[in-house]
Amino acid sequence: MLPYLNLGCGNKFHPDWVNVDFVSTGEGVIAHNLLSGIPMPDNKFEVVYHSHVLEHFQRDDAFKFIQECYRVLKPGGIIRIAIPDLEQIARNYLEQMELALKGDKAAESNYDWMVLEMYDQTVRDKEGGNMLKYLGSDISNEAFVYKRIGEEGKMFREMLLSQKNQPVHKPKKKFTRFFKPKYLKNKIKNFVLGADKSYAEIGKFRKGGEIHQWMYDRYSLGRLLKSAGFKNPEVKSAFESNIPNWNNFGLDLHDNKVRKPDSLFMEAYK
């Protein structure tokens, strides 16, 4: 086992690493709530890596999390972070808006997508939000969207479209259920408590980990790393790293293509 740690790994992990996620997503993946810290001793790892995790922490919790990453790294160890790149999103948003204002029809659709990238994962109150609805629809700017969301997003959209084209067999409603006392009782309860139930469900969803709690660019991420004690923060590409044999692990790449091209990749040293 390599002295390398992958936090919030999801389904993208390497068996030679120590892999941790909120729930176990595969053999050997340690289930742990990272809001409670990293369940590892001080100065244990040569590398700490996390991809599209930091933005799901509130700002104060994000700082504590980065401090934990610093704690478990050996002196001279490397942290590598991949996050949605606020700067890249903002630049694309402004570019597509300017083109749309000039009458560019293709840019109108691209603008709609960039607004979703910027806001949907912060304001949505149900799984997938409007981004899921967009990806499952017939769109004219597929090439632009694929450039933004990469291979993972492309496969997800293809799955959505495949499911959409499958016939749905809905069972016939049995109207006799409307006259059952238990059904009527639940209908009345839902009507009376409907608003409160809705608020509770939204609150539970928004605390469930899907929402983006904050966004970062190369300046703010570098500043955050320095504030936790890290040195020499440096922007990297998906293909380059100071981690030995990085491209062999397939964490930021899939078939030599970038998994999440909307990302900012940054490394720093303890």
pLDDT of residue 204: 87
Rounded Cα distance between 213 and 64, Å, is 15
pLDDT of residue 168: 55
**β 257-258/231-236 pair status:** unpaired
Phi first, then psi, for residue 258 (nearest 5°) are -70, 125
pLDDT of residue 218: 98
Rounded Cα distance between 90 and 93, Å, is 5
From the first residue on, what is the mean pLDDT of each consecutive set of 10 residues in the chain (270 residues)?
96 96 94 96 98 96 98 98 98 98 97 96 93 94 94 88 72 43 47 60 88 97 98 98 96 91 97
Q: Where are the domains of the chain?
A: 4-85+216-269, 87-164, 177-206
Any idea what DSSP says for residue 12?
-
Question: Is the pTM for the entire model greater than 0.85?
Answer: yes
pLDDT of residue 117: 95
Write the CA distances from 131 to 34, 68, 127, 155, 205, integer angstroms. Answer: 26, 32, 10, 15, 16
* CATH of region 4-85+216-269: 3.40.50.150
